[in-house]
Amino acid sequence: MGLSNTLEFHHITAHCVPQVSAQAQTMDSQFARMQRTVQLVTQYDQTLPESTQRLFDSAPARWNNLRTKVSLAKQRLGPRIQEESEGIAKVGTGRGSE
């Protein structure tokens, strides 16, 4: 793997994957707020536009799907992440050519 690909891989695993994990609690609370809002709208005999209702209905499942994919990727990439981190550390300390 070239240096550019290694850095790109490291960027994805070090920055993008943790962002999804960090957002999990925030997103879960936002879905709860959305649910309460829809219940309030329904309580007053109002309905959401069909397109909005479809988005509302699908959003939690789509979010759970993303979280599952990230979790599986972390499990699958764990050994590779460790290997790349060790390789970068060796290069940084000058031991990479040994």
Residue 84 burial (CB count, 10 A)? 19
Q: What is the pLDDT along the chain (98 residues), one digit of tens a residue?
A: 455 566 666 666 666 777 777 788 888 888 889 899 999 999 999 999 999 999 989 988 998 898 888 888 778 877 877 787 787 777 777 665 55
Alpha-carbon distance of 19 to 73, in angstroms, equals: 14
Q: Which conformational region is residue 45 in: left (phi greater than 0), alpha (psi within -120 to 50 degrees), or beta?
A: left
* Cα atoms found within 13 Å of the Cα of residue 50, Cβ hemisphere only: 0
For the chain, what are the domain ranges? 3-93
Residue with tokens 């959003």: 59
pTM for this predicted structure: 0.58
